[in-house]
């Protein structure tokens, strides 16, 4: 069929003026067409520069989603000698047809209108209902913007610094270190590297000050610790650390979630305490989630090696493994997981790997700073990749396309219904 005719049919369909014969013709073409052809037909006739940028961004996100959905299962991971048997992280299979379309517009909550209406069209064809009016859409009284670089720094003397409002540059000289802010990043430089007298540095470092960086719900931040370790803090998290690392080890305390790239120091191991789990590393990349409202503390290794410990139990992890410590029973599980899904938050996306709505909404609540109320139960498992830069209504709209869940936003509360 000629593309110009197809485009005209598509626009009449979306406007609700297409005849039944035209709808049938469009349905037949749609079922046989590939995604590139569908995109061309459903793209607007004229695009602004912003439209083009959004479409390109959506395409990149789709590529990420396609890779995640089509990636073959990882080979079995052999557990370390000191580890317990490795389990497979459960994942619910997605229906083939829905999977194809989810991949096409999985990240389209950036909202390239053509992509979204394209999925509306497919769902309407499957159910035999009109696409223009009966596709569920989140009821929005006031939309909720995504989170951003927001945090508070608590200094050893009890004073605080609002990092979101602070100017770039030197924030403060503290015990043995200088603190700089650089566009969403907090950087500690030990005094010796900024020209402070070595003897004075040694005296101050004998009693280093403890600092805490806290992100609110709807916030995230990066910090470079005095040893060069890089930490990405997720929303509703806090990290406590000294202004100078002295002694036999480097100890920090985490509540919430963070991704660590630890500076290697053989003679001074890096220790993270999170709840009743301790993570011991020399130099490695790992993610640690220890939110109070999650039923497990999870350490996921991306690179290097770590040892996780709780009481007398300890296990060595290999890359691609996750140690999950059940808060109620105190039992460890060692899982082989998709690390890209675990650290998706750091890379600016929600990566849904087959979770039910409750863990999905806990993540949404932290990022959009909302409270969640459930009215009914759904057992649907959700898959897809959605940018964290999207407004809440756009994210919920994407989830509603499953037909298994519906949302209403009322101020700072989100109501979830099947």
Q: Summarize pLDDT for 180-238 with one digit per residue, the tens.
A: 998 889 999 986 554 444 434 444 445 788 999 999 999 999 999 999 999 999 999 99
Using an 8 Å Cβ cutoff, are 291 and 257 in contact? yes
- CATH number of the domain at 354, please: 3.55.50.30
The phi-psi region of residue 237 (left if phi > 0; otherwise alpha if psi is between -120 and 50; otherwise beta) is: beta
Mean pLDDT over 108-135 rounds to: 33
Higher local confidence (pLDDT), 329 or 299: 299
- Overall number of domains in the chain: 2
**Does residue 248 lie in a domain region?**
no
Which run of H or E residues covers position 333?
A: strand 332-336
What's the predicted TM-score (pTM) here?
A: 0.68
Pairing of strands 306-310, 277-281: antiparallel
**Residue appearing with tokens 């808060």:** 327
Q: What is the pLDDT of residues 230-261, one digit of tens each?
A: 999 999 999 999 999 988 999 999 999 999 99
**Does residue 233 lie in a domain region?**
no
The DSSP 8-state label assigned to residue 12 in this structure reads H
**Residue appearing with tokens 């990420």:** 64
Phi/psi at 416 (nearest 5 deg)? -110, 125
Q: How far apart are CA 1 and CA 22, in angstroms?
A: 12
Over pLDDT 70: what percentage of the chain?
Answer: 65
Neighbours of 239 (CB within 10 A): 23
Higher local confidence (pLDDT), 7 or 131: 7
Q: Is the pLDDT of residue 271 over 60?
A: yes
Which run of H or E residues covers position 268?
A: none
Closest CA to 395 of 404, 403, 385: 385
Using an 8 Å Cβ cutoff, are 289 and 298 in contact? yes
State the chain's maximal CA–CA distance in angstroms: 87
Higher local confidence (pLDDT), 36 or 23: 23
Higher local confidence (pLDDT), 402 or 372: 372
Neighbours of 160 (CB within 10 A): 11
Neighbours of 215 (CB within 10 A): 25
Higher local confidence (pLDDT), 123 or 342: 342
Higher local confidence (pLDDT), 164 or 290: 290
**Does residue 145 lie in a domain region?**
no
| CA 109, chain centre distance (Å) | 15
Question: What local confidence, expressed as pLDDT, does residue 61 receive?
Answer: 53
Rg (CA), the chain: 25
List helix spans (H) across 165-291: 198-205
Q: Is the pLDDT of residue 284 over 60?
A: yes
Mean pLDDT over 321-329 rounds to: 92
Q: Which residues are CB-neighbours of 38 under 8 A, at least 6 positions away?
A: 30, 104, 118
Q: How far apart are CA 105 and CA 61, in angstroms?
A: 9
Domain residues for the domain of 43 are 3-86+95-140
> Any idea which of 52-56, 171-175, 359-363, 384-388 has the lowest mean pLDDT?
52-56
Using an 8 Å Cβ cutoff, are 13 and 131 in contact? yes
**Does residue 8 lie in a domain region?**
yes
Q: How far apart are CA 185 and CA 367, in angstroms?
A: 18
**Does residue 69 lie in a domain region?**
yes
Mean pLDDT over 99-112 rounds to: 31
**Does residue 68 lie in a domain region?**
yes
Closest CA to 92 of 377, 382, 378: 382
Q: How far apart are CA 316 and CA 280, in angstroms?
A: 9
**Does residue 293 lie in a domain region?**
no
Q: Is the pLDDT of residue 10 over 80?
A: no
Higher local confidence (pLDDT), 409 or 203: 409
**Does residue 194 lie in a domain region?**
no
Q: Is the pLDDT of residue 292 over 50?
A: yes
Question: What local confidence, expressed as pLDDT, does residue 51 receive?
Answer: 52
> Any idea which of 9-18, 42-51, 317-326, 381-390 has the lowest mean pLDDT?
42-51
């Amino acid at each position: 069929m000629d593309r110009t005719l197809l485009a005209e049919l598509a626009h009449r369909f979306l406007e609700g003026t297409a005849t039944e014969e035209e709808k049938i013709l469009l349905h037949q073409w749609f079922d046989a067409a590939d995604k590139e052809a569908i995109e061309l037909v459903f793209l607007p006739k004229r695009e602004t520069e912003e439209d083009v940028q959004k479409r390109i961004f959506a395409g990149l996100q789709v590529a990420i989603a396609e890779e995640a959905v089509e990636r073959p299962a990882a080979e079995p991971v052999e557990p370390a000698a000191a580890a317990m048997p490795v389990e497979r992280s459960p994942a619910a299979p997605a229906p083939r047809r829905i999977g194809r379309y989810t991949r096409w517009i999985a990240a389209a909550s950036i909202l390239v209108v053509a992509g979204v209406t394209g999925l509306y069209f497919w769902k309407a064809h499957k159910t035999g209902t009109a696409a223009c009016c009966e596709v569920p859409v989140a009821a929005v009284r006031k939309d909720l913007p995504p989170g951003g670089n927001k945090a508070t720094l608590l200094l050893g003397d009890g004073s605080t610094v609002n990092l979101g409002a602070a100017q770039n540059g030197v924030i403060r000289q503290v015990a043995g270190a200088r603190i700089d802010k650089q566009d969403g990043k907090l950087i500690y430089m030990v005094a010796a590297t900024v020209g402070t007298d070595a003897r004075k540095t040694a005296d101050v470092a004998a009693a280093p000050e403890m600092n805490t960086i806290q992100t609110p719900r709807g916030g995230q931040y990066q910090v470079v610790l005095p040893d060069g370790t890089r930490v990405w803090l997720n929303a509703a998290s806090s990290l406590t650390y000294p202004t100078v690392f002295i002694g036999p080890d480097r100890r920090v305390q985490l509540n919430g979630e963070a991704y660590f790239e630890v500076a290697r120091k053989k003679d001074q191991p890096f220790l993270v305490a999170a709840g009743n789990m301790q993570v011991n590393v020399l130099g490695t990349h790992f993610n640690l989630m220890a939110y109070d409202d999650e039923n497990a503390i999870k350490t996921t290794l991306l690179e290097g090696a770590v040892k996780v410990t709780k009481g007398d139990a300890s296990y060595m992890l290999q890359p691609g493994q996750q140690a999950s410590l059940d808060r109620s029973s105190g039992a460890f599980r060692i899982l082989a997981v998709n690390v890209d899904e675990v650290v998706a938050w750091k890379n600016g996306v929600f990566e849904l790997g087959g979770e039910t709505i409750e863990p999905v909404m806990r993540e949404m609540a932290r990022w959009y700073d909302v409270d969640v109320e459930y009215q009914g139960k759904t057992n649907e498992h959700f898959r897809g990749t959605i940018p964290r830069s999207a407004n809440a209504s756009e994210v919920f709209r994407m989830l509603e396309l499953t037909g298994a869940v519906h949302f209403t936003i009322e101020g700072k509360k989100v109501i979830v219904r099947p």
